[in-house]
Structure 1
Amino acid sequence: MFEEIRIENLGVISAARVVLGPGLTVLTGETGAGKTMVLTGLDLLLGGKADAGTVRIGQDRAVVEGRVTVGPDSPVRARAEEAGGELDDDGSLVLLRTVAAEGRSRAHLGGRSVPQGVLADLADDLVTVHGQADQARLRSPARQREALDAFAGAKHAANLTAYRADWAERSRLDAEIEELRERGQDRAREAELLRLGLGEVERVSPQPGEDLELAAEADRLGHAEDLRTAAAMAHDSLAGEGDTTDDAAATIVVDRARRALEQAGDHDPQLAGLATRLADLGYLLADIALELSGYLEDLDADPLRLESVQQRRAELGQLTRSYGEDIDRVLAWAQTAGLRLLELDGGGDRLETLVAQRAALVTALDRRALALTTARQKAASTLAAAVTGELAGLAMAGARLRVEVTDAGPGPWGSDAVEMLLVSHAGAPARPLGKGASGGELSRVMLAIEVSLATSPQSGARRPPTFVFDEVDAGVGGKAAVEVGRRLALLARGSQVLVVTHLAQVAAFADTHLVVTKSTSAGIDTVTDSDVRAVTGPDRVRELARMLSGHDSDAAQTHAAELLALSDVGR
C-alpha cells in the first residue's frame, strides 16, 4: 500500500506531498490544478517512460519519491532484496525516480540504484491503474482472457501453468524431432565414414606404440653390417681377440696396472685404493666385452624380416595419414569414433523415443486443455452474471456482459479464444467490448469488472493492494455517478483505492479527500505543499459544493451535505 508520494518540479508542481490512507482516497481540484501530474509521478515510480517535457520550466530535474508498505511474504519485498534494496525499520520501501531536463532518468529502490525495468517489474504487484489507455486495453482478447483466468481461481491457474510448461516442452520436442529428421541423411553419411575407418583400423589391428618399435627395428636391420663391424671392433679392443694384440687389449692393460699397484699397496694405502678401483674397472670391461659378444651372436641381418617390418610400417602409415599422427592417436580416434557411431546408430531409437514422448505429451495437453476450457466456461458464466449485476447498479439497466469461450485450436494458453461482449440495452446486439459502449459506459463496465474480480465470492483473482482510477466517471452523472462512488467504496473495503474525479457524487464516498489547488508565483502557475490538502468537515462540504455548482452557495452546500449523508447510508 502506498503511504505517500513526494513530487518536486514536475509540471505545475513545485513541491507537493500526497499522503494516501487506506480505503478510498479521492483527488479533486480545478481543471489544470495538477491532479494529472500526481498520476504522472505515480507512473514514473512504476517504471513508466520518462518525458523531459514534464520537468518544470527553469529546473534541472524532476524528482518523485514514493513510500510503500510491503508484507513479509510480498513478492515486492523479495524483488527489492534481490536488487539490493533495503527496507526501512517499519517495513516500508522507498521508490525514487529522477528525470533530468535533458531527458535522462534514474531509478532507485530501497536506497539502491536500479534499472527502470526493476520498478516496472514491481508495478503489477503494487498497483492496478485504470485510465483511458487502460480502458483501451480491455478491448484486447489477450487481456480479456487474462481477466477470466484470474477470476477462475488458483486451481485453474495451476492447471494453466502446467499446460504452458507442457506446451513449451512439446515445442522443444518438435524442434529436436525436426532436426533429427532433417539431419538423418547427414548422420547416415557420417556413420558410414566412421564404419569404414573403424573397419580399416580393426583390419590392421595396431598395438600401442607399435609404429615406434618397428621404426627402431627397421633402422637396426637396415644397418646390421655397420652395427656388426662396430661391435666386433669394440669387443676385440676390450677382450684382446681378433687382430688386436694382447698388449693393446684394454682388459689386459688394466689388469697389469692393477697388479702393479697391489704389490706396492702394502706400503701406501692410497695406491691400494687405486688398485681396488682398477679391479672394479676390469670387471666392468669384462662385462661389456661379454655383452658385445652376445650382441654379435644375436645380431641378424635377415632381409626377409626387414621386408616384413617395412610392409607393416606401410600399413600403419596408411592409418596415421588418415586418423592420427601416430598409432597412439589413431587408437584414440578409434575409441572416440566408436562412441560417436553408437550415438549415430542410436539416432533412430532417439527419434522413436522423442515421437513417443511427444504423443504422450499431446495427450496430456489435450486433457489439460479440456480442463482449462471447462473452468473458463464456468468462470465466464459466473463473471458475466456478476458484472451484469454490477452494471444494473451503475444505471445501465438492461445492459449485459457476455463472456464467450470458443474453440480457437491448440495454443500456448490452451485451445480457447475469450471475448467479452456488451449488450448495451435490451434488444441491442452483443458487440465486442469497446465497440458497443461509449466512453462513460466503458468506464462503468471496467469498474464493474474490477469490482467483480475483487469482491465476487467465486473470484479467485489475486489483486494488487492498490487501485488507481483516472476519469473512471467520464460521461457519467446523476444516479449513475452515485453508484460509481458506491462501487469504488465497496472495492476500497479490501484495497487501497485512489480516484481522480470531477464528480461530487463520487468524492462524497471517500475516506480521504485531497484537494489540489494551484497558485501563481512570479506569473507562473505552481503547486506547493500547501496546495495539496486533506479536507474534512465544513471544508469538505465547500469543496463538494464547488464541484456541484462551481461555487459554495448555501444551496450548493446543502446539496453537498446531503451527498455526504447519502454516502454514509450507502456504505
Structure 2
Amino acid sequence: MLEEVRIRGLGVIADATLPLGPGLTVVTGETGAGKTMVVAGLSLLFGARSDSGQVSRGAEAADVEGTLIVDPDGPAAARCRDAGGTLDDDRLILSRTVSTEGRSRASAGGRSVPVGVLSDIGDSELTVHGQSTQLRLSRPGAQREVLDRFGGAAHQSLLADYAEAFTAWQRAVRTLDELRRDDAGRQRELALLRFGLDQIYRADPQPAEDDEIDAETHRLANAEALRQAVAHAAAAIDGAPGEYDATGADALLGQAARTLAESGDAQLRVLGERLSEVGIQLRDIAGELSAFAGGISDDPDRLAALMTRRAELKELVRSYSSTGDIAGVLAWAQQARGQIASLDDSAGRLEQLEADRDAAAERAERAAAAVTRSRRALAARLQKQVSAALGSLALGGSRVLVEVTDRPAEPGRPVLGRDRSARGATETGCDRVRILLGHGADDEGRPIDKSASGGELSRIMLAIEVVLAGTDPVATMVFDEVDAGVGGAAAIEIGRRLAGLSRSHQVVVVTHLPQVAAYADQHVKIAKRAKGGVIASGITPLDPEQRLDELTRMLAGLSDSDSGRAHARELLSAADHDKKRRKAR
C-alpha cells in the first residue's frame, strides 16, 4: 500500500506531496490543474517508460519518490532485496528521476537499480486503469489476462504447469531441429574421416617407419662411399699396408698399455688399465664395422621400392599429420576412430530426441487441455458476475459474454494435437479469449472495441475490476477518469462500486464527478497557484469544510453556491450513510 508520494518537476507540478491511506482516495481539480500528472508520477514510480517532455519547464529533472508499506516476506520486498535494497521495517522507498536529456534513474530501498526492478515491484503492488487500459482491454491478449486473473491461485497453478511443459516441449523441438540441420554436415564429416582411415589402413604405416626408410635409402644411394669409409676405418684400427702404417691403432694402444703397466708406477698402471679398456672398445667397433660392411647393398630394386614407400608415407604425413611425421598420422587415426564412434551415435541420439519431443508434446497437450477446461468454466462465471454489475452502471440490458475458442493452427507456428484436434500453441495456451458485449438476451455479442464507447469501456473495466477484486493480489488500484461520459444514478453507482473495491484494496481515483468524490475516505485537490510569476500546481488534502467547498464547485461550478452547497452536503450524507450500511452487512 502506498503511504505517500512526492512529485517534483513533473509537468505543472513543481513540488507537491500526495498523502495516501487505506480505502478510497479521490483526486479532483479543475481541468488542466495537473490531475493527469499524479497518474503519470505513479506510473513512473513503478517503471513506466519515461519522457523528457514531462519535465517541468525550467526544471533540470522530474523526480518522484514514494513510500510503500509492504509485506516483508512478500514479492515486492524479495525483489528489492534481490536488487541490493533494504526495507525499513515494512516500509520500502522507491524513487525515479527523469532528466531533460531523457536519462532515467531509479532506486529501491536506497539502492540504485534498473528501471525494470520498479516494474517488477509494481506487478505485485499497483495497477493503473485509464484510457490506455481500456484500449488494452480491446486486445484479445488483455482479455485473456482478465480471465486468467479471475481464476485465482488454482488457475495460475495450471498456467504455470502448462508454461513449464510448453517450454520443455519447444526446447526439445529446437534441439531436434538443430541435430537434423547438422545431419548433412555430420554425414560429410563421417565420409571424410572414413576415407582418411581407409587410406591409412591400406598404407599400414608403422611407428618410426619414415626414419628407418630414410636411413636405408641413404645407405643404398651411397653404398660405395660407405664401403670406402668402412675400409679406411678398419685399416686404421687393425693396421694394413698402404696409406696407413703397418701397425694399426689397436696394436699401438696395446703396446702403450703394456708399457705403462710395466712402469712400476701406480698412477701409470691406472692409466694403462684405462688404455686397455679403450682397446676393448676399439675391437668392438672394428667388429661392428665388419658387420656393417657385410650389410651394405646397392640393390637398385630395393632402392626404388623404398623411394615409392617414402612417397606414400609423405602423402599421408602431408594430409593427416600435424607434427610432420608418421607419429602424427597415427595420432590422427586414433582421434578419427573416436570421432566416428561419437558421430555414429548421433543416429541413436536422433531417435531418442524424437521420443523426448513426442513425450514433451503429450505433456504440453495434457496441460493445455487442463487450462482450456478451467478457462471455459471461469468464462461462464465471469460473464455472469460482470453482466450482473452492468445494470447498475447505466448499461442496463447489456451483458458481457466471455468466449473461449481454440486457437487455429498456423503454418510455421507450434501446434499441439493432430488432424481435427490440432490447435495453435503459444506460451499462454491454445485458447483465444474474447470479451463480447451483447445488447439484449438474444444478441450474440460483438467485440467490445466495436460495440462499446469509451465511457462504456470504462464502466465495463470497473465492473470487471470489482469482480476480480477478491482474486487480485495487487495492493493499490489507480483509476484515471474511468467515469468519463457518465452522470446521474450511474455516477453514484460507480462511486459505490469503487468504495466497495476499496474495502479489499487501496483505491486512488482521479475523477470529475462529485457523486464519485462523495464516497472518498480521503479527498485531495490539485489546484494551480501563482508564485513569483510562475504558475504551478499543488496538492492539498481537504478537511471536511474544504471538501464541501470542492464538491460544491464540482456540482455548481462555484464553491460558494448556496444551492450547490446544499446539494453537496446531501450528497456527502447519502454516500456516508450508504458506506456505513454496506460495511454493516
TM-score bracket, normalised by the shorter chain, equals 0.7 to 0.9
Change (3 A) 1:186 1:261: closer
Corresponding letter in the other structure for 1:76: A
The equivalent residue for 1:443 is 458
| 1:546–1:556 contact (8 Å) kept in structure 2 | no
Alignment correspondent of 2:468 = 453
Cα offset for 1:200? 2.4
TM-score (norm 2): 0.86
Deviations 1:50-100 (A, max 9, x none): 22222222222222112223333333333333333x214324333222222
Give TM-score scaled by structure 1 length: 0.88
Per-residue CA distance 1:279-314 (angstroms, 9 max, x = gap)? 444444344334434444455555554444334333
- 3-state SS, counterpart of residue 72 of structure 1: coil
Q: Write the deviation string for residues 130-175 of structure 1: whole angstroms up to 9, x where unpaired.
A: 0111111001001111221222233433333333344344445545
Q: How far, CA to CA, are the matches of 1:505 and 1:212 in structure 2?
A: 105
2:86 alignment counterpart: 87
Instruction: Report if the CA contact (8 A) 2:63-2:98 is conserved.
Output: yes
SS in 2 for 1:50: coil
Question: Residue type of the partner of 1:316?
Answer: L
Quote how far apart the aligned CAs of 1:351 are. Answer: 4.1
| Distance of 1:372 and 1:7 partners within structure 2 | 43
CA distance in structure 2 between the aligned counterparts of 1:213 and 1:389, rounded to whole angstroms: 100
For this pair of structures, how many residues does the alignment match? 560
Q: Which residue of 2 aligns with 1:555?
A: 566
Asked whether the equivalents of residues 379 and 402 of structure 2 are also in contact (C-alpha less than 8 Å), the reply is yes
Summarize deviations over 1:516-538 as a string: whole Å, max 9, x none: 222111332223xxx42323433
**Cα offset, 1:386, TM superposition:** 1.7
Cα distance in structure 2, aligned partners of 1:393 and 1:463: 26
Structure 2 distance, partners of 1:222, 1:159, is: 86
Deviation at 1:270, TM superposition (A): 5.4
Q: How far off is 1:446 after superposition?
A: 0.4
1:483 to 479, 493, 508: 493
1:534 counterpart residue number = 541
| Contact persistence 2:235–2:244 (CA under 8 A) | no
- Partners of 2:240 and 2:246 within 8 A in 1: no
Cα distance, 1:334–1:471 mapped onto 2, change above 3 Å: same
Residue 517 (1) aligns with residue 527 (2): yes
- How far, CA to CA, are the matches of 2:273 and 2:333 in structure 1? 59
Q: Does 1:323 align with 2:337?
A: no
- Matched to 1:362, the amino acid is A
Distance, in Å, in 2 between the alignment partners of 1:56 and 1:186 is 62
Letter in 1 for 2:505: S
Q: Distance in 1 between matches of 2:384 and 2:373?
A: 17
Establish whether residue 66 from structure 1 lines up as the match of residue 63 from structure 2.
Answer: no
In the alignment, residue 503 of structure 1 is paired with which amino acid? L
CA distance in 2, matches of 1:355, 1:319: 40
User: What SS does the aligned partner of 1:422 have?
Assistant: strand
**DSSP 3-state at the match of 1:406:** strand
Residue 13 (structure 2) pairs with residue 36 (structure 1): no
Q: Percent identity?
A: 47
1:26: which partner in 2? 26
Q: Give the secondary-structure state (helix, strand or coil) at the position aligned to 1:48.
A: coil
**Contact 1:400/1:425, CA 8 A, preserved across alignment:** yes
Paired with 1:271 and 1:347, the residues of 2 have a C-alpha distance of 79
Once the 2 structures are TM-superposed, how far is the Cα of residue 250 of structure 1 from its aligned partner?
Answer: 2.5
**Of the candidates 389, 397, 420, which is equivalent to residue 435 of structure 2?**
420
- What letter matches 2:203 in structure 1? V
Shift of 1:4: 1.6
Equivalent position of 1:158 in the other structure: 157
Are residues 348 and 102 of structure 1, via their aligned partners in 2, closer, same or farther at CA, if it must alter by over 3 Å?
Answer: closer
What amino acid does structure 2 have at the position aligned with 1:120?
S
In the other structure, the counterpart of 1:45 is 45
Shift of 1:470: 0.6
Deviation sequence 1:158-217 (CA, Å, 0-9, x none) = 333333344344445545555666666565455444433322222222233322332233
The answer for unaligned runs of 5 or more in structure 1 is 456-460
Report if aligned partners of 1:396, 1:425 keep a CA contact under 8 Å in 2: no
- Pairing 1:120–2:127 present: no
Change (3 A) 1:69 1:213: farther
Contact 2:2/2:476 (CA < 8 Å) preserved in 1? yes
| 2:392 counterpart of 1:381 | no
Compared CA separation, residues 277 and 65, structure 1 to 2 (3 A): same
Q: State yes or no: 1:499 paired with 2:528.
A: no
Over residues 227-284 of structure 1, what are the superposed CA-to-partner deviations in whole Å (9 max), with x where a residue is unaligned? Answer: 3332332233233357576665223333333444444453xx6555544544444444
Greater alpha carbon shift after TM alignment, 47-56 vs 143-152 = 47-56
Aligned: 1:78 with 2:93 = no
Q: Does 1:254 align with 2:217?
A: no
Distance in 1 of aligned mates of 2:162 and 2:148: 13
Cα shift at 1:421: 0.7
Conserved? CA contact 2:72–2:89, under 8 Å? no
- What is the one-letter code of the residue matched to 1:449? I
User: Cα distance, 1:318 vs. partner?
Assistant: 3.6
The 1:206/1:70 distance shift into structure 2, 3 A limit, reads farther
Letter in 2 for 1:95: L
Alignment of 1:229-244 (within 5 A): 229-240=228-239
**SS class of match (1:517):** strand
**Would you say the 8 A contact 2:518–2:572 is kept in 1?**
no
Q: Which residues in structure 2 correspond to 1:112-511 (within 5 Å)?
A: 112-175=111-174, 177=176, 187-240=186-239, 248-264=247-263, 266=265, 271=268, 274-299=271-296, 303=300, 305-324=302-321, 325-346=324-345, 348-408=347-407, 409-412=423-426, 413-425=428-440, 430-455=445-470, 461-511=471-521
Gapped regions of structure 2 (runs ≥ 5):
408-422
The residue number in structure 2 matching 1:458 is none
User: Using the alignment, how far apart are the partners of 1:349 and 1:261 within structure 2?
Assistant: 83
SS of match in other structure, 1:435: helix
Q: Partners in 2 of 1:252 and 1:393 — Cα distance?
A: 137
SS of the aligned residue for 2:450 comes to coil
What SS does structure 2 have at the residue aligned with 1:99? strand
Deviation at 1:374, TM superposition (A): 0.9
Distance 2:227 2:109 in 1: 92
Q: Give the 3-state SS of the residue equivalent to 1:484 in structure 2.
A: helix
Aligned residue for 1:103, secondary structure, equals: coil
Distance 1:207 1:383 in 2: 83
- For the 8 Å contact 1:515–1:533, the answer to whether it is kept is yes
The CA distance in 2 between the partners of 1:424 and 1:286, in whole Å, is: 125
CA RMSD in angstroms comes to: 3.0
